[in-house]
Amino acid sequence: MKRFHVFLLSLLFSPVSVFAQTTATLPPPPSPSVPAITAHELRAHVSWLASDELEGRGTGTPAIERAAEYIAREFARYGLTPAGDNGTFFQSFPVITGARTQENMLALLQGGSKEAIEPLQFMPYTFSASGEFTGPIVFARYGIADPSGERDDYDGLQVAGAVVIVRAGYPDDTDPHGPIPMLSTARAKALAARERGAAALLIVHEDEHAVRDFTYDRSPSDAGLPVGKLHIDAARMIFDRAGLGAHRLDELGSATADEGNRSAVALVVHDPPMSDAAAADPGAAEAVTLHGSFMVELERKVTRNVIGAVEGHAPGSLVVGGHYDHLGWGGEGSLYRGTEPMIHNGADDNASGTASVLELAQHFATQRPKHTMLFMAFSGEEMGLLGSAHWVEHPTRPLGDVRAMFNLDMVGRLQDSTRRLNIQGIGTSPIWKDAVSRYNDEEKFNLGLIEDGQGSSDHSSFYTKNIPVLFFFTGLHTDYHRPSDDADKLTYDGQETVTRYIAEIVADADGRDEIPFVTVAKKENQRVSRFNVYVGTIPDYSANEKGFRITGASPNSPADKAGMKEGDIIVRFGETEVRNIYDYMTALSRHTPGEDVPVVVLRGDDRLTLTVSLVKK
């Protein structure tokens, strides 16, 4: 870690010398290397970026730093101007890459004695608050509280200061399209327990692998109280000692687990005698308390965007970009279901887009463009568009000068049989439809045109800043987010054709005096499912504040009409305190169309209350 920080400081103060020191570890440039866009060079770039040597280019890893150095070396070789921080090709920014936990403890206290729970039987969630807790035990069934009255597992229970134990998931007879599934997530259950003053929440799982899983959920805000997983065997022992009766877990029957998995509970236990207090209040136990201590620490690292410029002579700039990170060895976002850890090389996602950005940079470096062209390789996309979101908030060139953004993400799998090329953002400027059609005369792509400029790749960060965008991709496939996305699966001749086509569209945009921006109206089927209400807020996934920060509101949406603006941080929605996006989603599921809901936002130093009139989604 110390060596890594020294390296970053060296980048800031002596980029030339550091660059010379690191290039020795990189492969030689593609040979031959020519300004023309070629399948040969695309293959060479992808083969290196998607090699096992780079271990899947996970954000915050040493391997992705080598990928960044490779991209910067190529930019320098083409003659691009460094357009990052402090005269370098790099823009550094902090990321949270995971979480760690240690020294956790859970024990039963009764009559002066202490009985420790086996450490393998429990685990804090990554969003658990750190700290000690002690309290009487309250069993709240599934821990679901629906304000509409469909279900309230806390009805009649006194949980202030208590350690609440609940089952994972929700009952099998639940309407999957109703509010209950959204209220049954671990985050939603933590919110319900926190609102009632619980000292801690323990969620019972039968699957021991689910208990031991410690996957970071990508939200830096904790739940506001200690929250842990408890194995069913430990829960049964605790219920026996507390006189609650382990049969009370059994009586819930099978349950649908909170991450979408099903977990059948089939306990065969005897009904121990219940204490008088427990009989009087079947949710509480007498003379038995749980004591615990959880420690969760987020892992914070530094990663880098790589940015180079081909300088133009007219005002304004065009951005051509794509992300160069991937999933490393898997983890969050991986669709691999094997048990042996495997490198996720991400050849198509997105070594292909990175290679095409490099080829476009080399091509335009010899073209003397009218407007400055900024070529960007973003890090942290797989973690929530972090790199592009950081750049638009902290631009290294004036954001107001950006006339359009072209995003390349998964452009390496053009199929000869279909020649399908998808282009998103076609409605964000009136010039796009003519351009993509006019330059498709020779290529004869089967174009799939999507109007909206908002989506799950880096163009979305620019679209929220009212910048016209086009997003090119050749489609999903069975290797997506799996270890099998390797360099030998790409169709490089097809990628060459796609990249040449993009070059023509970029050149067309460069020659225009104006690229008008249009906001695309949201369609009904694009709104978030599982909610009965529509608000229209656009989340800022890169935010680290407590609360739910937005990058804006969709035009004419309830949020827009209420006066919500870019940068607002929602801290309360109705009666729900909002600490993160998960609290916000839970809050939405608690309301119905037609309600006028007071929403508290932080806007700079001001705390404002806005009224949002909810509509049906």
Per-residue pLDDT tens over the stretch 564-587: 998 899 999 999 999 988 889 889
Tell me the C-alpha to C-alpha distance, in Å, between residue 18 and each of 9, 88, 91.
10, 11, 15
According to the model, what pLDDT value does residue 261 have? 32
Name the nearest CA neighbour of 258 among 174, 170, 136, 367. Answer: 170
Q: Contact at 8 Å (CB) between 296 and 123? A: no
According to the model, what pLDDT value does residue 545 have? 73
According to the model, what pLDDT value does residue 295 have? 97
Which residues have a Cβ under 8 Å from the Cβ of 274 and sit 6 or more positions away?
Answer: 243, 244, 245, 282
Provide the CA 571 distance to its chain's centre, in angstroms.
Answer: 20
For 449, what's the count of Cα atoms within 13 Å in the CB-facing half-sphere? 13
Tokens, residue 156? 């009649």
Round to whole Å and give the CA distance between 511 and 525: 36
pLDDT < 70 positions in the chain: 1-24, 246-247, 250-286, 522-531, 541-544
According to the model, what pLDDT value does residue 179 have? 80
Tokens, residue 468? 């016209």
pTM: 0.76
Round to whole Å and give the CA distance between 289 and 272: 18
According to the model, what pLDDT value does residue 413 have? 96
Round to whole Å and give the CA distance between 344 and 327: 6
Name the nearest CA neighbour of 164 among 209, 119, 185, 133. Answer: 133
Q: Contact at 8 Å (CB) between 550 and 566? A: yes
**Type and span of the H or E element at 82:** strand 81-82
Tell me the C-alpha to C-alpha distance, in Å, between residue 326 and each of 344, 498, 509, 608.
7, 22, 30, 39
